């Protein structure tokens, strides 16, 4: 198996008015391509902190973080931004689409920033991703006119725009109903099966069965690291054939 993320004694400490606060205790972790990982924990458990470190949007206070073969501590902010754009797709809890761009433009923007996908094929790729996430019919609309579920699907399409090796999502179904939640989780699952390392932070128990590995956090400590055998859903073959996550 190809190792995608390797954390060696990672720790995150914040300086507060009341002194130093350890949001994440020293942690050593290896995550591999194709893993569908759930980060479980209550509020304040350190799961968002760990997710931020995994997605490269935050730096560890101590330890080494190697993501997709790159020690991210060696990268400047500018290079880290480009690295993220090329290698890590991020889905946020509150969608965070650019409100003044259409759905299609939001997906193309991710490709424009990183310049990995050739210019002439960006529009077609964006339309394809939107189709595969089921929101192609809204391609010319603005995010504010879409429902929560639809916006999250657009956010996923954007996260997949540059064909990342790693997909990270922070409570992606936190603001969705159960039907939309199921759809979103299925999409993530398919990406993992296609070889992407997918990491989802969630507190929703009903999704745990989908994960191939569950990391349980509490008070900044990794309390449990459980591996589960991979199971195919009835949708997985169909989506695999369509090549959801590696469509280039």
Partner 1 sequence: MPLNISFSIIKKIWRDLTERKARTILTIIGLLIGLWGVGSVLIAWQVLDNDLSENFTSTNPPAIILTLKSKPVQALTQSKNNAIPIKELATLQGIATLENRPVLTGRLEIYQDYWLPVVFSVVDNFSKINVAKIFTETATSPPQKNSFFIERDGLLLANWRLKMQVTGSEPHKAAKASHDSPRKTVPNQLLHFGDKPIKLRLKGGRQFNVELSGSVHDPAQAPSRMEQLIYGYVTTETAKSWTRGELVERLLVLPNHGYTDATSVRQIAVRLEEKLNELGYQVSKISFPSTTEHKHQFQMNSILFLLTGVGMLALLVSVVLVLNLINGILTSQVKQIGILKAIGATKFHIASIYLGSMMILGLIASLLAIPLAVGTGYVISAKIAAFLNFNILTTTLPFSFLLMLLVAGTTLPMIAAITPIKRWTQVSVISALQYAETTSSKNNVNLPLPLPINIVMGIKNAFRKPRRLLFTATTVAIGLITFMLAMNTSTSLLYTAEQEETQKRYDLMVLFEQPVKASRVTWMDKFSIVDHAETWKIKRATLIHSNQLDDEIRPLKLIPSASKVMRPFMLTGNWLNPEQAGGVVINQRISHGHSQYKVGEQLDVLINGRSMKLPIIGVMKEFGGASIYIREGDFLELFPNTEQLINSAFITLKEPNEKNLAQLKRLMDQHLTLADIGVSDMASAKKASRIIRGHLDVIVSALLLLALLMLLISTLGMASGISTSIVERTREIGILRAIGGKPTAIATILVTESMTMAFIGWLFALLLSQPTSKLMTEYFGTALVEYPFDYLGSSEGIYYSLFGAIVLVILATLGPIVSANQQSVQEAISYE
Contact residues for partner 1, defined by CB under 8 A? 52, 55, 57-58, 77-78, 81-82, 84-86, 90, 92, 96, 98-101, 105, 108-110, 112-115, 158-159, 162
Residue 83, C-beta contacts closer than 8 angstroms, at least 6 positions apart: 56, 67, 68, 70, 72, 75
CB of 222 to partner 1, least distance (A): 21
Is residue 9 within 8 Å of 53, Cβ to Cβ? no
* 134-156 CB burial, b ≥16 within 10 A, e <16: ebbebbeebbeebeebbbbbbbb
Report the b/e string of 44-81 with b at 16+ CB within 10 A.
ebbbbbbbbbbbbebebbebebbbbeeebeebeeeebe
CB 41, min distance to partner 1, A: 18
215-233 in b/e form (b: 16+ CB < 10 A) is: bbbeebbbeeeeeeebeee
The 8-class DSSP code of residue 85 comes to H
């Amino acid at each position: 198996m190809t190792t995608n993320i390797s954390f060696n004694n990672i720790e995150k400490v914040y300086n507060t008015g009341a002194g130093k606060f350890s949001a994440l205790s020293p942690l050593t972790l290896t995550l591999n391509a194709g893993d569908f990982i759930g980060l479980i924990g209550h509020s304040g458990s350190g799961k968002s902190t760990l997710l931020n470190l995994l997605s490269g949007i935050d730096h560890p206070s101590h330890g080494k973080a190697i993501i997709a073969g790159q020690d991210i501590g060696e990268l400047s902010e500018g290079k880290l931004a480009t690295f993220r754009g090329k290698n890590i797709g991020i889905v946020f809890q509150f969608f965070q689409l650019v409100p003044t761009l259409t759905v299609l433009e939001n997906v193309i923007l991710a490709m424009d920033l990183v310049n990995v996908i050739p210019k002439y094929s960006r529009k077609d790729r964006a339309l394809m991703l939107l189709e595969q996430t089921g929101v192609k019919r809204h391609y010319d609309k603005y995010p504010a006119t879409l429902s929560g579920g639809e916006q999250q699907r657009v956010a996923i399409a954007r996260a997949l725009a540059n064909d990342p090796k790693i997909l990270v999502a922070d409570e992606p179904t936190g603001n969705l109903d159960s039907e939309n939640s199921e759809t979103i989780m299925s999409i993530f699952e398919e990406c993992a099966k296609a070889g992407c390392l997918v990491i989802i932070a969630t507190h929703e128990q009903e999704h745990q069965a989908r994960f191939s590995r569950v990391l349980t956090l509490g008070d900044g400590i990794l309390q449990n690291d459980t591996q589960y055998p991979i199971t195919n859903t009835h949708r997985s073959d169909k989506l695999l054939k369509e090549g959801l996550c590696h469509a280039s």
